[in-house]
Amino acid sequence: MKVGILGGTFDPIHRGHEALGIIAARELQLDQVWIMPAGNSYFKAVRGKVTSARHREAMVKKVVEENPLFAYSDLEIRRPGYTYTADTLLTLTRAYPDHRFVFIIGADSLHDIKDWFAPEVICRLAELAVAGRSELVDREQMQKDADYLKERFGARIHWLELPDMPVSSSRIRQEIREGKLPHPALSPGVNAYIEEHGLYGKPRTAEEILESLKKRLKPSRVRHTIGVAETARKLAECWGEDADRAYLAGILHDCGKAEGSALSHAPLGAVIAREEYGIQDEEILSAIRWHTTGKPAMTLLEKIIFTADYIEPSRDRAPRLNELRKLAFENLDKTIVCILEDTLSYLQECGADIDGMSMETYTYYRSAGDSPA
């Protein structure tokens, strides 16, 4: 079986990617094209954050559902740590010894392969199908790159000619932020998924979000929100977290309060933050999700929002507030233990139900002792 491997970030997957797979299959007589979204790519990690893996995976699956030529592979997206093409090809050739693999790449990648991890392994285990749009590629440079790889690593290279399609994932993301959705360069399934999950929407600033929340929250809740955001900023500056990120998480932490109950507003708030306010930072969303109960092994940002929610200046009924406001800047984990002790004691006295996650969090941090934040 002759299989093409079409890898990439796919943020989002678009018609250009699909055309590349179709053309490669036609010109190289491929039986199937496996679309393989990248996981934690070293080069992407250096250049900047991409959309979460689960969204990119879901969009690729939408395309696969629409074309029987394509199949989905989660080999890279499920692998922990950085992913390297050489490791991927080693895994594939061991798992499918009777398959012949063709690695489909763009002209820019042809130039970069010599600097990738173990280029000799890549060239030994797979043929290279190199595609470039005529208006973008430097034919002379491409030939130099190909000659080098052939001479140095014995590369087997095929050329693919792509039609002129002025489309890129970065351009699509920008156009979606500008309101161009559905986008003509995306399949119906991908367009629907992006709309459903609010991907690539223009993120609002913290100030814009606060103005929106003033219309849906009670004035006392707005005061509390501002207090949490400002406290979170100060804690972030103390403990080495990004202060603007902590402030934004603080502004958003109670965005689900108008619709949810005492406990349900937190997970609901994470959904609202993503879908209505365009927040894609998974750690901010998690800090919103767990700010009422906490959870074992919280990230620094999660600890900060959990703590800021309790000690912000407008709070005046909880015991030991002055002590905790000082302790939060000395030992964050101890502060979390004290907050949970007071909260659990209060709920027991009131005869109220105690959320199991609060107990798990208390047990975790209590057993951690005096460890630093």
pLDDT of residue 42: 40
How large is the average pLDDT for residues 268-296? 89
How large is the average pLDDT for residues 115-133? 92
pLDDT of residue 163: 75
Q: DSSP states of 230-268 as a string? A: HHHHHHHHHHTS-HHHHHHHHHHTTTTTTTS-TTTHHHH
Q: Confirm or reject CATH 2.60.40.10 for domain 2-197, answering yes or no.
A: no
**CA dist., res. 16 & res. 33, Å (int):** 14
Asked if 194 contacts 167 with a C-beta cutoff of 8 angstroms, the reply is: no
pLDDT of residue 25: 97
- Give span(s): CATH 1.10.3210.10, the chain: 206-368
Backbone angles phi, psi at 211, to 5 degrees: -65, -35
**CA dist., res. 366 & res. 294, Å (int):** 13
pLDDT of residue 372: 44
State the pLDDT confidence band at 47, using cuts at 50, 70 and 90: very low
How large is the average pLDDT for residues 36-55? 63
- Give span(s): CATH 3.40.50.620, the chain: 2-197
The reply to whether the predicted model has a pTM over 0.75 is: no
Q: What would the pLDDT profile of 308-367 be if each residue is shown by its tens digit?
A: 999 999 998 888 999 999 999 999 999 999 999 999 988 888 887 788 899 999 999 998
How large is the average pLDDT for residues 125-154? 86
**CA dist., res. 39 & res. 79, Å (int):** 7
pLDDT of residue 221: 94
**CA dist., res. 144 & res. 160, Å (int):** 17
CATH number of 206-368: 1.10.3210.10
In the predicted structure, residue 45 carries a pLDDT above the cut 70 = no
- Give the 3-state secondary structure of residue 11: coil
pLDDT of residue 188: 96
pLDDT of residue 46: 35
Q: What would the pLDDT profile of 50-109 be if each residue is shown by its tens digit?
A: 677 888 999 999 999 999 999 999 999 988 777 899 999 999 999 999 999 999 998 888
Q: What is the CA radius of gyration of the chain?
A: 25
Helices in the chain by DSSP H: which ranges?
Answer: 15-28, 42-47, 53-66, 85-95, 107-112, 119-125, 139-153, 169-177, 188-197, 206-214, 219-239, 243-252, 265-275, 282-289, 300-311, 321-327, 332-350, 356-368
Instruction: Please name the residues in contact with 351: beta carbons below 8 A apart, sequence gap of 6 or more.
Output: none
In the predicted structure, residue 128 carries a pLDDT above the cut 80 = yes
pLDDT of residue 152: 96
pLDDT of residue 52: 75
In the predicted structure, residue 146 carries a pLDDT above the cut 90 = yes
The residues facing 6 across adjacent strands are: 35, 104
pLDDT of residue 86: 95
**CA dist., res. 84 & res. 119, Å (int):** 10
Q: What would the pLDDT profile of 200-252 be if each residue is shown by its tens digit?
A: 876 678 998 899 899 889 999 999 999 999 999 999 999 999 999 999 999 99
The structure tokens listed for 332 are: 């964050």
Closest among 182, 139, 135 to 15, alpha carbons compared: 182
**In terms of pLDDT, which residue wins out, 372 or 95?**
95
**CA dist., res. 36 & res. 88, Å (int):** 10
Q: What would the pLDDT profile of 164-180 be if each residue is shown by its tens digit?
A: 677 889 889 889 888 89
In the predicted structure, residue 135 carries a pLDDT above the cut 70 = no
**In terms of pLDDT, which residue wins out, 74 or 40?**
74
Strand bridging mode 157-162 / 70-72: unpaired
Asked if 282 contacts 296 with a C-beta cutoff of 8 angstroms, the reply is: no
Enclosing H/E stretch for 162: strand 157-162
The structure tokens listed for 56 are: 């990119």
pLDDT of residue 300: 97
How large is the average pLDDT for residues 271-296? 89
State the pLDDT confidence band at 373, using cuts at 50, 70 and 90: very low
In the predicted structure, residue 49 carries a pLDDT above the cut 60 = no
Asked if 149 contacts 126 with a C-beta cutoff of 8 angstroms, the reply is: no
